Chain A
Amino acid sequence: AQSVTQLDSQVPVFEEAPVELRCNYSSSVSVYLFWYVQYPNQGLQLLLKYLSGSTLVKGINGFEAEFNKSQTSFHLRKPSVHISDTAEYFCAVSAGGTSYGKLTFGQGTILTVHP
C-alpha cells in the first residue's frame, strides 16, 4: 500500500516570491508520482507527473518537481508565483502494474499568494 504526506497544510507567499510545496510518499514498489491543482469550485487538473527517466519534471504554468528516490520525496517548486496560482495542490502516488491506476492522495496544501 502507498501513502502520501504533504508536509504543509497552508503556504502563504507574496507575489513573485519562490515557493516549494513538500510531498513525501511511502511505497514498497516503484511508483508514479503526480501533482494536481484545484482552483476554487473546480475539479482537479494535472500539473505534472513523474513516470520514469529524468528526476526533474516540468509541468504547466511554470511549475516543476524533483523526484528523490532516496528521500522518497516529490517536492513541487515555482521560482516566481502569481496571484492566479492561489489554489489547493495535491500530491498523489500510483503503483505501476495492475493497480488499475488507483491514486492515493495527500491531504492537500492550500497555496495563497498575496499581492
Chain B
Amino acid sequence: DVKVTQSSRYLVKRTGEKVFLECVQDMDHENMFWYRQDPGLGLRLIYFSYDVKMKEKGDIPEGYSVSREKKERFSLILESASTNQTSMYLCASYTGAGGGYTFGSGTRLTVV
C-alpha cells in the first residue's frame, strides 16, 4: 500500500514564525497536494505539485508556499504564521488514472 507520512501530528507555533510541514510518499507518485481542513468548510486545496520543482496554486494559496526538491517529498511553508492559519493540514499523493488520493494522517497546527 502507498504510504503518505506527515512528520508531525500536532504543532504549536507562535504568530510570525516560519513553519514547515513535511510530507513524504513512498510510491514514486508525481502528483502531490496540500489541503487544509476546517469544520463546515471541508477540504480546500492550498497548493499542488505535478513534478519535481513544479507547483501550482490551489484555491487558497495566500500566506503559503511549497517546495518539491525531490519526488517523494512535498513541503508546505507558512512564511509568517498567523492565527487564522490554525487548522488541520492534510497531504495527499495521487495514485493516477482516476485512482483517487492516499492521504497522510494530518498535522493539526495551532498558531498562538
The residues of A with any CB-CB pair to B shorter than 8 Å are 4, 6, 9, 32, 34, 36, 42-46, 49, 51, 90, 92, 94, 96, 100-108
Considering only CB atoms, which chain B residue lies closest to A9 in the complex? B40
Also in contact, A51 and B98, with CB within 8 A (given A44-B90, A44-B103): yes
Please determine whether B31 and A100 come into contact, CB atoms closer than 8 angstroms: yes
* A-B interface contact total, Cβ < 8 Å: 62
Q: Give a binary string over B84-112; 1 marks a CB under 8 Å from any A CB, 0 the rest.
A: 00000010101010111101111000000
B12-26 interface with A by 8 A CB criterion = none
Q: List the A side residues contacting B103 at CB < 8 Å.
A: 36, 43-45
Please determine whether A102 and B48 come into contact, CB atoms closer than 8 angstroms: yes
Please determine whether B43 and A49 come into contact, CB atoms closer than 8 angstroms: no
- Could you tell me the distance between the alpha carbons of A9 and B4 in the complex, rounded to whole angstroms? 28
Q: List the A side residues contacting B96 at CB < 8 Å.
A: 101
Please determine whether A100 and B98 come into contact, CB atoms closer than 8 angstroms: no
A-B pairs with the 4 shortest C-beta distances? A101-B94, A43-B103, A105-B43, A105-B42
Q: List the B side residues contacting A96 at CB < 8 Å.
A: 98
The residues of B with any CB-CB pair to A shorter than 8 Å are 4, 31, 33, 35, 40-45, 48, 50, 56, 58, 90, 92, 94, 96, 98-101, 103-106
Please determine whether A49 and B42 come into contact, CB atoms closer than 8 angstroms: no
Q: Which residue of B90, B98, B99 is within 8 Å of A43 (Cβ)?
A: B90
Nearest Cβ on chain B to A66's Cβ, whole angstroms: 18
13 contacts across the A-B interface (CB closer than 8 A): A32-B98, A36-B100, A43-B90, A45-B103, A92-B43, A96-B98, A100-B48, A101-B101, A102-B45, A103-B100, A106-B42, A107-B40, A107-B41
Q: Which residue of B33, B43, B50, B101 is within 8 Å of A46 (Cβ)?
A: B101
Q: List the B side residues contacting A94 at CB < 8 Å.
A: 98
Considering only CB atoms, which chain B residue lies closest to A35 in the complex? B100
Also in contact, A107 and B42, with CB within 8 A (given A44-B90, A46-B100): yes
- Could you tell me the distance between the alpha carbons of A103 and B101 in the complex, rounded to whole angstroms? 9
Nearest Cβ on chain B to A72's Cβ, whole angstroms: 18
Q: List the A side residues contacting B58 at CB < 8 Å.
A: 102
